[in-house]
């Protein structure tokens, strides 16, 4: 789930909102990291609505968590608020984006260009959110060469080389289930450190690679448990 990064030498600028000592990503619970995107999203919504600052209490009620949790989560990374005032929305939003490394655009490769792959390739939500699909790949020679949104589908065998050449370290798997592990292996070979997996399989990857599953079927299958009458 996590890797073993240690950030290099702390700076001595005491005005930084980041704590002066180094943060080891391994010291911060992954569950906290997974909440940060929701904080950013909600803060950006507040910016749109014209607000300038929020208290942890207000933010918490918007998100549906406790104020204590928000304050504790943020305290892992530094001090971002003002007692009596709350948080400056733009500042906090920017700070979390920096923590998550969302202050840049991440190119991604997409593996598997069936129905699902096509839908993902055409999805507009990624680019607004620091991500760009930069390469499409499929194992089926019949699909290779097809053009999808200005990108040409390339042969699966070229993934690893393409990733290294283009400095891509994020991959999306949208292959059929049985080819997903193979796809993951290729991504790892290409130097992937983050994999978004739409295939219904648990992938085996080295410890330094993070994987997140997108699994609507499992989500549905767990909800029916709670449904009352038949």
Partner DNA sequence: TAGATTGTTAATCGATTAACAATC
Segment near a second copy (CB under 8 A); pick from 57-65, 85-93, 136-144, 180-188:
57-65
Rounded Cα distance, 16 and 72, in Å: 19
Q: What stretches of the chain show up as alpha helix (H) in DSSP?
A: 30-48, 56-63, 67-75, 89-99, 115-122, 159-166, 180-189, 216-223
Q: Does 32 bind DNA (CB under 7 A)?
A: yes
Query: How far is CA 207 from its chain centroid?
Result: 17
Rounded Cα distance, 155 and 140, in Å: 7
DSSP state of 105: P
Least Å distance, CB 32 to DNA, is 6
Q: Whole-angstrom distance between the N-terminal and C-terminal Cα of the chain?
A: 38
Nearer to DNA, 50 or 125 (CB): 50
Nearer to DNA, 12 or 83 (CB): 83
Rounded Cα distance, 51 and 45, in Å: 9
Least Å distance, CB 125 to a second copy, is 6
Q: Using CB under 7 A, which of 23, 62, 63, 65 touches DNA? A: 65
Q: Does 198 bind DNA (CB under 7 A)?
A: no
Nearer to a second copy, 170 or 188 (CB): 170
Q: 119 contacts which partner out of a second copy, DNA, none, CB within 5 to 8 A by kind?
A: a second copy
Nearer to a second copy, 13 or 230 (CB): 230
Nearer to DNA, 78 or 155 (CB): 78
6: left (phi over 0), alpha (psi -120 to 50) or beta: beta
Strand partners, 24: none
- Site of interaction with a second copy (CB under 8 A): 2-3, 5, 25, 33-34, 36-38, 40-42, 62-64, 99-102, 104, 106, 108, 115-116, 119, 122-126, 129-131, 169-170, 193-196, 200, 202, 204, 208, 210, 212, 214-228, 230
């Amino acid at each position: 789930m996590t890797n073993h990064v240690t950030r290099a030498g702390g700076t001595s600028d005491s005005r930084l909102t980041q704590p002066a000592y180094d943060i080891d990503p391994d010291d911060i619970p992954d569950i906290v990291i997974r909440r940060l995107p929701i904080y950013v999203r909600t803060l950006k919504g507040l910016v749109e609505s014209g607000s300038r600052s929020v208290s942890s209490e207000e933010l918490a009620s918007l998100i549906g968590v406790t104020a204590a949790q928000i304050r504790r989560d943020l305290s892992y990374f530094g001090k971002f608020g003002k007692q009596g005032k709350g948080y400056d929305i733009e500042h906090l939003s920017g700070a979390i984006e920096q923590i998550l490394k969302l202050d840049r655009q991440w190119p991604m490769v997409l593996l598997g260009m069936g129905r699902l792959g096509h839908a993902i390739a055409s999805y507009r939500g990624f680019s607004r959110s620091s991500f760009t699909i930069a390469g499409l790949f499929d194992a089926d020679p019949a699909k290779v060469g097809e053009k999808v949104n200005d990108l040409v589908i390339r042969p699966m065998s070229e993934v690893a080389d393409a990733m290294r050449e283009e400095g891509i370290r994020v991959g999306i798997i949208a292959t059929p289930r049985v080819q997903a592990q193979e796809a993951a292996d290729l991504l790892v070979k290409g130097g992937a450190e983050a994999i978004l997996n739409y295939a219904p399989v648990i992938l085996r990857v080295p410890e330094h690679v993070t994987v997140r599953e997108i699994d609507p079927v499992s989500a549905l299958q767990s909800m029916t448990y709670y449904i009352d009458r038949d």
